[in-house]
Amino acid sequence: MSFIFRRLVFYLVAAWVALTINFFIPRAMPGNAVQSVMAKFPNLQPSAYKALEALLGVGHPGSIWSQYISYLNDIFHFNFGTDVSQYPAPVSSLLAQTLPWTIILVGTATVIAFVIGTFLGILAGWRHGGWLDRVLPALMFLQAIPYFFFALILVEFLAIKTHVFPTGQGYANGLIPGWHGDFISSAIYHSLLPAFTIVATSIAGWMLQMRNVMITTIGEDYVIAAQAKGLPSRRVIFTYAARNALLPQLQGFGLAIGFVISGALVMEIVFSYPGIGLLLLNAVTSNDYPLMQAIFLVITFAVLIANLVVDMIVVFADPRARTRAATA
Amino acid sequence: MTAVLPISAEPAALATEDARPGRWRRMPTKAKVGAVLLGVFVLAGIIGPLVAPYDPSFQNPSPALSLHAPYGAHLLGTTQSGQDVLSQLLSGIRLTLELAFFVGLVATALSVVVGVTSAFLGGVWDEVLSLLTNVFLVIPALPLLIVLLGYLQDKGQTATILVLSFLSWPWGARVVRAQTLAIRNRDFVAAARETGEKTGRIIIWEIVPNEVSLIAASFVNTVLYAIGASVALAFIGVTDLNSWSLGTMLYWAQSQQALQLGAWWWFVPPGLAVALIGTGLVLLNTGIDELGNPRLRDATSASRIAGRWLKPADPTPVLAEISQPRGRLTGFLHSFSRSSLLDDGESR
C-alpha cells in the first residue's frame, strides 16, 4: 500500500470520527434544542419541525442505530437537512453559495502567507542575528493579535477614516455575480483587505517555525561541506539547507491549517464577507442547529482534504519520502 | 566548627541566594519581556476588579455619557449604554485569564496522562492512542467548539472551560509522548525499575520531573490557545454574553457598531489586551525554547571570531521518533500515521 493511500484511509477515519461526534452531540447534550428553535421561530412549518426532530434525535424517530445509518446516508448524498432560519432552503444550497468565497479567499491568502513566511524564515535563519531576527518580536505581536481584531483596526484606518478600501461585503452593491470583468475586479478589490489580514497575522508563525528549523539544519555537516566546496551562498541556502528544512515546515503547515481557517472564519464576520464564517455567525445568532452542524462538517472535510494535499506535496518534494512511500 | 566541615547548610543557602538574580539575568531578553508583560496583566486580573471605578454592567442613563471619549472620570471612555470601558476591561482581563489558566491546567493534565500512558503501554495501545490524538489534531477545533457550545444551555465559565479543555489536549499529548519514549529507556529509569519501583512511582518521580520544561511549554501554549479560542467564541456570540470577558466586550463593541460610530476606545483596549497577553506568552515560550536550545539564541550569545559569528556548536537534541520493533498489528496501525514516513525501512 502506498503512503498516500494509507493517509487517505487515516483521513477517512478522521472524517468518520467527526461525523460520529456530529451525530451524537445533539443527542447527548442536555436540554431540548427543538424547543429552543421553536421558541425562536414560532411559525415554523410542521414538516420543518419533523425534519428538525429527525436531525436532533428528539421524539421517536427509531432506534439510535437506524438513525445513525440514515444520517450517514444523508451526509453521503450531501443532504444536510433543511435550514431553519431561511426555511425551506436546503442547508447544502446555502453552503454551496458561501463556500467558494471562503475557499478562494482563505486558500489563496494562506498559501501566500506560507510562501512569504517560509522565504523570510529561510533568510532569518541563514542570517541568524541579522535585522530580520530583530523584527521578530514585532511580528510575534502581529501573530498574537486575534485575526478579527486586526481586521477591525484595518477597517477603521483604511476603510472608514480614509476610504481606500471598501468596509465590507464581497462585491459592490448592484453587481450581479457572474464571470464578467466588473464583478471579478470588484470581488478582488473587496478581498484585498481580508486577504491582507490573513497574510499579516499568520506570516510570523510560518517565519518563526522555518527560522528555527533552518538554524538547526545549517549546523548539519552537509551544509558545511557545501560551503567548504565553495558553492555560491544562494545555492547552499536554497538547494542544501532550505530544501531539507522544508519537510518539517510542510508537516507543520498541515497541522496548522485548521487554526488558520478557524481564525479566518471569525475575520469574515468583521468584513461581512459572504463566506462560511458569516453564515456561521448567522447560524449561531438564530440557533440554526442544522446549519451549524453542516458548517462544522464542511470545514472539517476541507481541512482533511488540505492535509491530504500537503501529504502529497511532502511525498513529491522529498526524495527520501518518495522512496519510502514507494517501497512501503 | 562548621567552618572545617565541608558539608554545611550555609554555603548552599548562599549559593541559591546568588543564583537567583543570576538566573534572571541569564534569561533571554525575550523571556524577561514576556514575563513582565504577562505579570502586569496577571496583576491587573487579580486586583483589577477590586479597584475598578464602576460596576462594569452599570448603565449610566445620562445621554451625555453615551459613547463618551476618554476623559478624567472615565479613563477609557464609555460604551453606547454609558458603561465604563475601563471597569469592563479589568473584569474582562480577570475572566479571560482565569478561563485560560484553568483550560491550560486541565488540558495539560489530560495531555500528560494520555502522552505518558501511550508511551508506557506501548504496542497496540500506543498506536490506538496516537491515532486518536492525530484524529483530534486534524479535526478543526473552533467549529466543533461552536457546535458544542451552541447546544449547551448553560454556557457559564465552568462549562466553557471543560469544553475547551476537552479539545485542547492533543498537541501536548504528542510532545509528551515523544519525550516519554525518549526518556523511558534511559539508565536512571532502568535503575529505578531494577530496584523494584512500581511503574506508577517511576512515572511520577522519575519521568514527569524530567519533562517539567516540556510540560511548562505545553501549558503556556495551551493558555495562549485558550485565550484566542475563548475570545473568538465570545466574539461569535456562543459564550455567556452577560459576563464581562475580553471576548464579550469585543462582541458588544462589534454588534453595537463601535467601529462605524468611531468609538475606538471601546474596541481597541480589549483587543490590545488580548494581543499583549498573547505576545507575552509567545515571548515567554520562545525564551524557554532558547534556554533549552542554545542555537536559537540571539547572536549576542554567539562569539565573533575573525569577522564571523560562531554559534554554540553542541548539537540540538531533537525529539525524534524512536524506531522500535513493531508487531504486525502495531506496525499496521502505525503505517497510517504521517510519521511513518520517517521510519527506517527495517521495522517493516
- pLDDT value of position A326: 64
Instruction: Give backbone dihedrals phi and psi of B302, rounded to 5 degrees, phi first.
Output: -90, 155
- Determine the Cα–Cα distance for residues A183 and A189; give it in Å rounded to an integer: 10
- Determine the Cα–Cα distance for residues A140 and A161; give it in Å rounded to an integer: 27
Would you state the torsion angle of the CA atoms of residues B270, B274, B275, B280, taken in this order, to the nearest 10 degrees? 140
Q: Mind listing the pLDDT tens digit of every residue in chain A (328 residues)?
A: 577 888 888 999 999 999 998 888 887 776 666 666 766 666 666 666 666 666 666 665 667 787 788 788 877 777 777 676 666 677 788 888 888 888 888 889 999 999 999 999 898 888 877 777 778 777 777 777 888 888 888 888 887 777 777 777 777 776 777 777 777 888 888 888 888 988 888 888 888 888 888 888 888 888 889 889 988 888 888 888 888 888 888 888 887 888 888 888 888 888 888 888 888 888 888 878 888 888 898 899 989 998 899 888 888 877 777 776 666 5
Nearest chain A residue to B287 by CA: give it.
Answer: A137
- pLDDT value of position A114: 93
Q: Which residues pair with B84 in a beta bridge?
A: B78
Whether the CB-CB separation of B306 and B128 falls below 8 Å is answered with no
Measure CB to CB from residue B139 to each of A10, A14, A208 and give the nearest one: A14
B44-78 in b/e form (b: 16+ CB < 10 A) is: bbeebbeebebebeeebeeeebbbbeeeeebebbb
B320–A contact, CB cutoff 8 A:
no
Q: For residue B110, what pLDDT band results from cuts at 50, 70 and 90?
A: very high
Q: Which residue has the cell 566548627?
A: B1
First to last CA, chain B: 67
C-alpha cell at B339: 510519521
A313–B contact, CB cutoff 8 A:
no
> A107 to chain B nearest CA, in Å?
15
Cis peptide before A88 (omega within 30 of 0): yes
Whether the CB-CB separation of A6 and B134 falls below 8 Å is answered with no
| SS3 assignment, position B309 | strand
C-alpha cell at A227: 560551503
Q: For residue B8, what pLDDT band results from cuts at 50, 70 and 90?
A: very low
B146–A280 CB contact, under 8 Å: yes
Q: Reply yes or no on whether the pLDDT at B241 is more than 50.
A: yes
CA A121 to chain centroid = 22
- Determine the Cα–Cα distance for residues B231 and B238; give it in Å rounded to an integer: 10
Helix axis angle, B141-151 relative to A3-28, nearest 10°? Answer: 20
Q: For residue B197, what pLDDT band results from cuts at 50, 70 and 90?
A: confident
Neighbours of A17 (CB within 10 A): 17
| SS3 assignment, position A218 | helix
pLDDT tens string A232-265: 888 888 888 888 888 888 888 887 888 888 888 8
Neighbours of B196 (CB within 10 A): 7
Would you state the torsion angle of the CA atoms of residues B237, B239, B242, B244, taken in this order, to the nearest 10 degrees? -100
A183-205 in b/e form (b: 16+ CB < 10 A) is: beebbeebbebbbbbbbbbbbbb
| SS3 assignment, position B264 | helix
- pLDDT value of position B330: 78
> B238 to chain A nearest CA, in Å?
7
Name which of B333, B340, B304, B325 is nearest B124 in CA terms.
B333
Mark which residues 119-158 of A lie under 8 Å from B by CB.
128-129, 133, 137, 140-141, 143-146, 148-149, 152-153, 155-156
A311–B contact, CB cutoff 8 A:
yes
- pLDDT value of position B5: 39
pLDDT tens string A169-192: 777 776 777 777 777 888 888 888
B276–A212 CB contact, under 8 Å: no
- pLDDT value of position B19: 45
Return the ∠ at Cα A213 (arms to A124 and B323), rounded to 5°.
175
B153–A contact, CB cutoff 8 A:
yes
Neighbours of A234 (CB within 10 A): 8
- Using alpha carbons, list the distances in angstroms from residue A19 to A12, A72, A159, B149, B324: 10, 8, 41, 17, 33
Whether the CB-CB separation of A84 and A41 falls below 8 Å is answered with yes
Measure CB to CB from residue A285 to each of B232, B237, B254 and give the nearest one: B237
- pLDDT value of position B318: 43
**Which residues, at least 6 apart from B129, have a Cβ–Cβ distance to it below 8 Å?**
B114, B117, B118, B121, B173, B177
B226–A contact, CB cutoff 8 A:
no
> A36 to chain B nearest CA, in Å?
10
pLDDT tens string B326-348: 777 777 777 777 776 655 443 33
Whether the CB-CB separation of A172 and A166 falls below 8 Å is answered with yes
- pLDDT value of position B109: 94
**Given CA atoms A239, A233, A245, A117 in this order, what sign does their dihedral have?**
negative
pLDDT tens string B39-98: 999 998 888 888 877 777 777 777 777 777 777 777 777 777 778 888 889 999 999 999
> B65 to chain A nearest CA, in Å?
23
CA A292 to chain centroid = 16
Name which of B122, B113, B114 is nearest B322 in CA terms.
B122
C-alpha cell at B348: 517493516
Amino acid code (one letter) for A175? L
Measure CB to CB from residue B228 to each of A3, A146, A300 and give the nearest one: A146
Name which of B151, B231, B171, B278 is nearest A262 in CA terms.
B231
B311–A219 CB contact, under 8 Å: yes
Q: Which residues of A touch B228 (CB under 8 A)?
A: 146, 263
Q: Which residues of B touch A286 (CB under 8 A)?
A: none
Please return the burial class of A106, using the count of CB atoms within 10 Å of its CB with bins 0-12, 13-18 and 19+. Answer: buried
- pLDDT value of position B43: 92
B311–A contact, CB cutoff 8 A:
yes
A260-270 in b/e form (b: 16+ CB < 10 A) is: bbbbbbbbbbb
**From the candidates B133, B138, B171, which should be mutated to test the interface with A, based on the most A CB atoms within 10 A?**
B138
Neighbours of A137 (CB within 10 A): 17
- Determine the Cα–Cα distance for residues B100 and B220; give it in Å rounded to an integer: 10
A305–B contact, CB cutoff 8 A:
no
pLDDT tens string B18-28: 445 566 666 77
- Determine the Cα–Cα distance for residues B229 and B217; give it in Å rounded to an integer: 18
Instruction: Give backbone dihedrals phi and psi of B142, rounded to 5 degrees, phi first.
Output: -60, -50
Measure CB to CB from residue A33 to each of B151, B259, B296 and give the nearest one: B151
User: Across chain B, which distance is largest between two alpha carbons, in Å?
Assistant: 80
Instruction: Give backbone dihedrals phi and psi of B308, rounded to 5 degrees, phi first.
Output: -120, 140
